[in-house]
Amino acid sequence: MRKIGLLIAVLAVVGMGCNSERAQAPLSSLQNSEIETAEVELNALYEQISKSDEQGIDVPEAVYDRYFALEELLHPEYYELPTRGHTIFLDELQDVCPGTEIEGPEGGVMTYSVCGQTYNANNDCTYPDCRYGRDVVVELHINANDYLVITTTGSRFDTYLCLYADACCGEEGMDVIERNNNAPELCNGQRLAAGIERCVFPGTYYIVLDGAGPSARGSYCLNITSYYDDCEF
C-alpha cells in the first residue's frame, strides 16, 4: 500500500516546472517511511546515472523521468526562484548561435533568470565543443571585470554548461573558457544541475545550456548572476 501511495504522489508532480508551491503539497501527504523509501530510490538512480556517465553510456529517458519526478517531490527547494540581487526574468532562450542576447549590468549585483524547455531544440553545439543533448544559447556582454555565477538550478533534466569567449560554439575564434556537468555546491544541492563560477574580462561570452546526454532534455532554468566590477586579475 505504501508503494502504491508513493507512486500516486510521484505521478502527481510529473510535468511540473519551477514551481515549489505546487510540489510541496504531495510531500506533506507522505508518511516518513514513504519519504525514506523515495530517498533511497532517488540515491540509487543518481548512482546509476553517474556510473553511466562515467562509462560513456546513454541514460534511458525513463530513468531520468523517474529521477526528476522523485527529486521534485522530495526537494521542492531546488525549484524556488533566485533571490540574489536584482533579478530580471527573461523569455525562453533561442536554440541557435548567437542565442538570446543579454547586456551585463552597469553596477551592483544582477541576476538574469529564464525557464523554458529543450524538447523542440536541436543539438547545434555538440561534442567535442559541448555535449550530445539538445541545447540553448546565450550571448552575454560583459562591461567590467565581473564575477559570474551561472547555474541550471531548478532544471528537470541532466544539464551541462559550456562557456565560450569571442565566438559561439563551433565558430572560428571560439575560446573554450569552462565546461561543467554537475555542481551541487553552486546549485542549492541539486546534484544533476550544472554550475560555473569565475571572473571574466570585459567582452562577449556565449553560454550553452546542453543536455548531458542524448536523452537529457526537458524543462530548464538558467540563472546568471553578475557581481559587477568585483574581480581582480
67-87 tens-digit pLDDT? 999 999 999 999 887 777 889
pLDDT at residue 60 in the model: 96
Question: Which of 32, 12, 53 lies closest to 215 in space, CA to CA?
Answer: 53
Residue 27: pLDDT band (50, 70, 90) is low
* Domains defined along the chain, listed by start: 2-79 (no CATH), 86-227 (2.60.120.1050)
3-20 tens-digit pLDDT? 434 443 444 433 333 333
Alpha-carbon separation of residue 219 from 23, 41, 154, 209, 216 (angstroms) = 15, 22, 9, 11, 10
> What's this model's pTM, rounded to 2 decimal places?
0.86
Q: Phi/psi zone of residue 150: left (φ > 0), alpha (ψ -120 to 50 degrees), beta?
A: beta
